[in-house]
Amino acid sequence: MGPFRVLYLDMNSFFASVEQQLDSSLRGRPVAITAMENEHGCVVAASYEAKAFGVKTGTSVKDARRLCPGIAFRASRHRLYVRYNLRVAEVLDRHAELVRIRSVDEFQLALSGEATTLPGAAELVATLKAAVAAEVGECLRFSAGIGPNHLLAKIAGKLEKPNGFQWLFADNMPDRIAHLALDDLPGISSAMRDRLMRAGVRDVAALCQLDPRHARAIWRSVEGERFVRSLQCMDIPLVQTKRGGYGNSKVLAPAFRRPTEAYLVSRWLIEKSSARLRRDGRVAASFSLFMSPIGRRGWGRSVKCAPSQDTATFLRINRALWREAWPYIRGAELMSIGVHLADVDHLVTRTGDLLLPLRPAERTASERASVAMDYINDRWGAGTIRLGINRPHPGFFERG
């Protein structure tokens, strides 16, 4: 057995590559995927041909045209990309052990037998590249990384793009990643970078040599110790995370930016989020509303409530928060809004209420009505039954 346990695959410019695969006229050309079909939108993904001109995620459409004359724009089709993600996953799982689909363009596989050695892993990666190209599409390429744990495999997978293959293990650590900035590492935010700097950890080499117990103190969590032990090439497995909440946010198209229109979009977001909450058999004990007025600081509030999965309950809280926000947002346009249902627990663990009366784990009459609404909407189509007026704003990410 060799030192490698995990193979991490990172699809190269995945959204743009799917569009190039489907439209041969786009191959070899700079392509940008946008969130809106107008000059007010921004780039959410770019092909490597576009990246060579400086076009990247977050670049406005106007700036992308200036940086790269002749660039081709395509509206995002997220459902299409998910279908391609599943096609890639099916191919990978036939040739190796697919452990996790980490995101729409990232996959984690387990290595065993000869593939735990560098030659064996290299042969497996070549096989996977050929299989994806042949069975999904020649434009679909990925960079691969291997390591003794998921963190090092992920870092290795980002060292050589596009279409690369790299490895990290005890023999080349930390020298192989010493050139990276602290916040180049996955999981190191700018705030955590600043905290590390204040603790005297100023570069990746120093972080790799840190005492794991000191890392726990800096992170103020056991995750710091797990992170550093992973950098030190220990076999640290991923832990199951507890779901923190259910929510939706939306960057608003110009036609939806007036507060009166955005409010109706927020009602639609709540109906979607609470339906997902019920689908998973959960209840939420807090509701949050966020909005970003153009030219003003963002506004947000959170409200505690009795644990519930009732759409009408969250709509009432939402209406009260919009009334509270109204003096601040009156006359403004909103760039984005978001709702979040948090303090989540399972319905089966909810205690009863003698005053209602309500038995433990029993749904209220309003919650039962919401469940019936879910059934009808699943059977006859989303929006067949709605609780009052809302304004669907699916956008381009839900096309395809």
- Residue 308: strand pairing partners: 284
160 belongs to the catalytic site: no
Average pLDDT over residues 27-53: 86
> Where is mean pLDDT largest: 233-237, 332-336, 395-399?
332-336
pLDDT cut 70: percent of the chain above it: 96
Task: Give the pair of three-digit tokens for residue 301.
Answer: 């509030």
Distance CA(10)–CA(215), nearest Å, equals 28
Q: What is the DSSP string of 136-157?
A: T-TT--EEEEEESSHHHHHHHH
Catalytic position from the list 19, 49, 106, 271: 106
Domains by residue range for the chain, with CATH? 1-165 (3.30.70.270), 173-241 (1.10.150), 245-398 (3.30.1490.100)
Range scoring the smallest mean pLDDT among 47-61, 138-152, 370-384:
370-384
pLDDT at 202 over 60: yes
pLDDT at 54 over 60: yes
Strands across the sheet with 334-346, in order?
Answer: 245-251, 334-346, 282-293, 299-308
Q: Pick the residue with more confidence: 192 or 244?
A: 192
- Residue at 277: amino acid letter: L
Dihedral sign for Cα 158, 164, 165, 171, please: negative
- For residue 97, which of 86, 82, 107 has the smallest C-alpha distance? 107
Task: Give the pair of three-digit tokens for residue 247.
Answer: 């929510």
Which residues, other chains included, contact 260 with Cβ-Cβ below 8 Å and sequence gap of 6+? none
Instruction: Note the pLDDT of residue 36.
Output: 64
pLDDT in tens, 367-379: 999 999 988 988 8
pLDDT in tens, 70-106: 999 998 888 899 899 999 999 999 988 898 888 889 9
- The mean pLDDT of the chain is 90
Q: Pick the residue with more confidence: 115 or 58?
A: 115
H runs (alpha helix) in the chain: 14-22, 48-51, 61-67, 78-95, 118-135, 150-157, 190-198, 204-208, 212-219, 222-231, 259-279, 311-329, 365-380
